[in-house]
């Protein structure tokens, strides 16, 4: 790519927005050209607007410190200086739906971290290694919106990446029943231990809306494009429990699964080791070289040791064994704010760029 694409970050002052800012520092294809947030931050420099809220472990990139933050609601103003935007605003679902659609209608592709459009029938929800073909609904969406280059694409919820890739790699054996318990990090709620001290030495058995997302979103990922919309798959049957645990980053999942055709343990390990998707084939900049890593050690994967595998973009698995009730059980781990949030969205944008859906204006 001769010139970098100009990117805007909606909600750039928040936790996910900061992650976008960090990931885009020195990105080979994209550069941050605009940051937008609430009217509270608009008009301030990025450094002033974020103030003491910088939550990344690396320093704020110099290149963004003096960018003047814009108001998310001033769509034309933001749209005029970018080729596409990432969306990480925290507003009501209806407001997010409306604002993302307003950007798309202003001919700006929107790659969203938010859940608002995950079930809009012609909006692709993509894990690039699993369902890149869902991008085929974009022309139908553009037709509905009346746009030439503007559209919305989303990534799924952070919880599902710790088990959906593992099950997808085994699709040929027909997973039919899946029971997953997720142990979710506090950064998934936008928190650190400093601002959520109640989570130290604690476990909370409820995360609003998370079980529904964890059970339903994999079915949309495995759905088919039919008549210009995504029709969700009707199998496997998935049931989940989602639990908040005192871990800073990294969602773990304990998974039980039964198959139509039970594979051997060796077949499962081979499928996981060999699984590749389009990001690996296209050599996308944020793609993990090895998407799925299996640990032989009984005490792995561990959130603290393994969440940063492949810069937080790989999925770590372990403890595969036969089960007494289901066919097999195993444990999965993925980084919730990298693969599960901003990193996953950056990979979606890279795929959209490689396939010509996002171009310079
Ligand atoms: N944290 C995670 O790991 C995670 C994972 C998956 C999905 N999400 C979702 O991603 C979104 C962002 O999460 P977050 O944790 O980054 O939230 P956050 O830290 O609270 O940041 C929210 C961002 O939205 C902006 N904003 C808030 N109210 C606004 C308004 N009325 N108009 C325009 N902008 C407004 C904020 O701007 P100001 O700074 O000016 O207030 C800030 O930039 C949420 O929808 C969340 O559910 C988060």
Express each pLDDT in 24-76 by its tens digit: 999 999 999 999 999 999 999 999 999 999 989 899 999 999 999 999 999 99
Largest separation between any pair of C-alpha atoms in the chain: 61
CB 346 within 8 A of CB 85: no
Express each pLDDT in 323-335 by its tens digit: 999 999 999 999 9
Express each pLDDT in 193-224 by its tens digit: 999 999 999 999 999 999 999 999 999 999 99
Residue 69 Cα: closest atom of ligand 1: 40
Ligand 1 in reach of 90 Cβ (< 6 A) = yes
pLDDT > 80? residue 2: no
Quote the pLDDT of residue 325.
98
CA nearest ligand 1 atom 46, residue: 90
Rounded to 5 degrees, φ, ψ at 331 are -120, 140
**What 3-state DSSP class applies to 103?**
helix
**Segment (H or E) for 145:** helix 138-145
| Ligand 1 pocket: which of 89, 155, 158, 341 to mutate (most atoms within 8 A of CB) | 89
Quote the pLDDT of residue 1.
63
Q: What is the mean pLDDT of residues 297-315?
A: 98
Taking the centre of ligand 1 as the mean of its atom positions, its distance from the CA of residue 21, in whole angstroms, is 14
DSSP letter, residue 59: P
Positions marked catalytic:
158, 251
Ligand 1 in reach of 343 Cβ (< 6 A) = no
- Listed in sequence order, the DSSP H helices in 200-359 are 210-221, 265-274, 278-282, 303-306, 343-354
Taking the centre of ligand 1 as the mean of its atom positions, its distance from the CA of residue 15, in whole angstroms, is 7
| Ligand 1 pocket: which of 47, 184, 190, 247 to mutate (most atoms within 8 A of CB) | 190
The neighbour count for residue 264, using CB atoms within 10 Å, is 9
What share of the chain has pLDDT > 70, as a percent? 99
**What 3-state DSSP class applies to 105?**
helix
Q: What is the mean pLDDT of residues 80-106?
A: 97
Ligand 1 in reach of 186 Cβ (< 6 A) = no
CB 129 within 8 A of CB 339: no
Residue 39 Cα: closest atom of ligand 1: 40
Sign of the C-alpha dihedral computed for residues 37, 41, 43 and 49 taken in this order: negative
Query: What's the mean per-residue pLDDT of the chain?
Result: 97
Sequence length of the chain is 361
CA nearest ligand 1 atom 30, residue: 38
Ligand 1 in reach of 41 Cβ (< 6 A) = yes
């Amino acid at each position: 790519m001769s010139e970098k694409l100009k990117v805007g970050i909606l909600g750039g002052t928040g936790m996910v927005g900061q992650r976008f800012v960090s990931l885009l520092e020195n990105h080979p294809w994209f550069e941050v050209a605009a940051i937008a947030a609430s009217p509270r931050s608009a008009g301030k420099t990025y450094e002033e607007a974020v103030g003491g809220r910088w939550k990344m472990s690396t320093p704020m990139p110099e290149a963004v410190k003096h960018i003047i933050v814009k108001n998310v609601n001033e769509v034309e103003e933001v749209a005029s200086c970018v080729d596409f935007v990432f969306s990480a605003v925290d507003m009501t679902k209806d407001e997010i739906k409306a604002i993302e659609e307003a950007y798309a209608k202003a001919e700006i592709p929107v790659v969203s971290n938010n859940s608002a459009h995950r079930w809009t029938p012609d909006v692709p929800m993509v894990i690039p290694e699993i369902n890149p073909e869902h991008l085929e609904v974009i022309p139908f969406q553009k037709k509905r919106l009346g746009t030439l280059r503007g559209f919305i694409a989303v990534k799924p919820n952070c919880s599902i990446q710790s088990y959906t890739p593992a099950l997808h790699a085994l699709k040929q054996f027909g997973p039919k029943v899946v029971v997953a318990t997720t142990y979710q990090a506090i950064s998934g709620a936008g928190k650190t231990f400093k601002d959520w001290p109640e989570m130290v030495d604690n476990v909370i058995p409820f995360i609003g809306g998370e079980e529904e997302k964890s059970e339903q979103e994999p079915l949309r990922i495995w759905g088919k494009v039919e008549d210009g919309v995504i029709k969700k798959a009707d199998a496997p049957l998935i049931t989940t429990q989602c639990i908040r645990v005192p871990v800073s980053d990294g969602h773990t999942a304990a998974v039980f699964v039964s198959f139509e055709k039970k594979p051997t343990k060796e077949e499962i390990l081979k499928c996981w080791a060999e699984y590749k998707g389009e990001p690996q084939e296209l050599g996308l900049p944020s793609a993990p070289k090895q998407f799925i890593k299996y640990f032989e050690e009984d005490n792995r994967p561990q959130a603290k040791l393994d969440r940063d595998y492949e810069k937080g973009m790989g999925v770590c698995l372990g403890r595969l064994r036969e089960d007494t009730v289901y066919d097999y059980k195993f444990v999965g781990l993925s980084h919730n704010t990298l693969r599960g949030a901003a990193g996953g969205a950056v990979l979606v944008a890279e795929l959209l760029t490689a396939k010509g859906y996002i171009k310079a204006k």
